[in-house]
Amino acid sequence: MEGAGAGLSMALKAWITLAFGFWVIAGGVWRYVQAESANALGFGLFMGVQALAGAALFFVNKPLAGRIVAGVAVLFVGGFFAVKGPKEGFDARVAITLAASLIEALVLVLPLKRAPEPEAA
């Protein structure tokens, strides 16, 4: 899988991470509207903005920093909902957030797509 062309492009990693960040923010707002939970709003905003910062780092060609920043958000969000789901049930918000966290974790661990090496003449 390490050959030329394997992996995801930097732009694709950035866009998927951006979508994850916006979803986490939306999930926090959703829970705030649903249950007036200021904690959920704060958690969603903080972790979502952190994921957006990771996406921004991908956009400016800083993949290691992007993986670290977004990875911390994925660990906290995914970990929280992995514990919360079995305890309180898997409503749509929890299930979607868990799925999004798993997808984002895969995006972060997949290698970057390498440009094909020029052929020697």
Both tokens of 72, joined, read 């911390």
By residue range, what is the domain housing residue 27? 17-109
> Which 3 state secondary structure label does DSSP give 7?
coil
Is 116 a member of any domain?
Answer: no
Query: What's the pLDDT score for residue 77?
Result: 97
Distance in angstroms (rounded) separating the CA atoms of residues 110 and 45: 26
Q: How many CB atoms are located within 10 Å of the residue 102 CB?
A: 13
55-79: average pLDDT: 97
Return phi, psi of residue 118, to 5°: -65, 145
Phi and psi at residue 92, in whole multiples of 5°? -60, -45
Specify if 81 maps to a domain: yes
Average pLDDT, the chain: 91
How much is the pTM?
0.87
* Nearest-angstrom CA–CA distance, 96 and 115: 33
Total number of domains in the chain: 1
